[in-house]
């Protein structure tokens, strides 16, 4: 059901323990336009709505220079937010064609070192769905440099992997896996999940795990150790059922968590506590909860 006053789905029942949305895009245009006749959602309101249902912290993720700078500024202004900075893999070929990739990577390096509120380098990685073979060299070069930045700055590496499972692992194995690595919006099967966990990665599940055609994700979740499971929205994308097709927001994470608990065979409270603790380890320690 969608509320008439906000244009967003009604808030689900609050979770019994706090969790973290470890990947969202609060700056995306879907937050700053009318949605189904609804109202604009400022950052404070988005965070308050999330906290009201137990999603008390978020990781704001940059995908380009503008978004990465905004993430850093937003995290500096909100104690419950930390930032991730990067060039999305689909940005890399565009910047390379314009002769600006090296300069952009240097700016990401600078942003990654700009404060404790910047916890991650991401989302970086490989995307063979939107970028063709002619853009892969730039994607690989960008991914490798992001890995090096994460290691140099002691930041968590957040990986975007779309239709590129084997290539992502090959680059990680060649460069060496950072101490803290998150597979954002995990999209593989059980075998790929095992390979990622063997390399020390955390697997982050989004609303896609609730989709009817996503049995591969549910199989992956079943084999993922409880201490390696994270949850995210990738908001405003990947809205969980039963609201698929509407814009997503951090306050809808309880739908995904409750679904995941059933698949993982644990109580909702146990999964919440595991996710909260896992996120602290995955992102280099705790930060303030939203109250």
**Residues annotated in the binding site, as ranges?**
23, 25, 123, 160, 184, 234
Q: Which residues are annotated as a binding site for a divalent metal cation?
A: 23, 25, 123, 160, 184, 234
* Residue showing tokens 């809808």: 252
Calpha distance 230→32 (Å, rounded): 27
- Exposure of 242 by Cβ count < 10 A (0-12 exposed, 13-18 middle, 19+ buried)? exposed
Calpha distance 53→253 (Å, rounded): 9
240 within 8 A of 210, measured Cβ to Cβ: yes
Calpha distance 78→46 (Å, rounded): 12
Whole-Å CA distances, 56 to 43, 119, 135, 158, 194: 13, 17, 38, 20, 29
Calpha distance 280→185 (Å, rounded): 18
Calpha distance 95→116 (Å, rounded): 28
Q: Which DSSP helix (H) or strand (E) runs through 95?
A: helix 92-97
| CB-side neighbour CA atoms (13 Å) of 87 | 30
Residue (of 181, 177, 176) closest to 122 by Cα position: 181
C-alpha triplet 162, 167, 169: angle, nearest 5°: 100
């Amino acid at each position: 059901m969608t509320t008439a006053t906000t244009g967003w789905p009604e808030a689900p029942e609050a979770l019994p323990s706090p969790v973290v949305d470890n990947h969202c895009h609060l700056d995306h245009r879907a937050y700053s336009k009318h949605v189904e006749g609804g109202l604009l959602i400022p950052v404070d309101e988005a965070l308050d709505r999330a906290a009201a249902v137990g999603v008390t912290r978020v990781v704001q993720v940059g995908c380009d220079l503008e978004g990465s700078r905004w993430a850093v500024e937003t995290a500096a202004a909100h104690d419950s937010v930390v930032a991730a900075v990067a060039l999305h893999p689909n940005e890399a070929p565009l910047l390379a064609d314009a002769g600006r990739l090296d300069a952009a990577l240097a700016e990401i390096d600078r942003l990654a070192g700009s404060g404790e509120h910047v916890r991650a380098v991401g989302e970086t990685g490989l995307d063979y769905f939107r970028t063709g073979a002619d853009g892969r060299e730039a994607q690989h070069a960008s991914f490798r440099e992001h890995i090096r930045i994460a290691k140099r700055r002691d930041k968590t590496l957040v990986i975007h992997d779309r239709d590129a499972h084997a290539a992502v692992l090959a680059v990680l194995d060649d460069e060496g896996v950072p101490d803290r690595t998150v597979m954002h919006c995990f999209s593989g099967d059980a075998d790929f999940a095992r390979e990622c966990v063997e390399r020390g990665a955390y697997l982050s599940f989004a609303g896609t795990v609730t989709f009817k055609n996503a049995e591969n994700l549910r199989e992956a979740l079943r084999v993922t150790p409880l201490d390696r499971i994270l949850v995210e929205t990738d908001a405003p994308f990947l809205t969980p059922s039963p609201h698929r097709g509407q814009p997503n927001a951090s306050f809808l994470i309880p739908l995904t968590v409750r679904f995941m608990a059933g698949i993982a065979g644990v109580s909702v409270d146990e999964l919440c506590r595991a996710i909260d603790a896992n996120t602290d380890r995955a992102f280099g320690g705790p930060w303030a909860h939203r109250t």
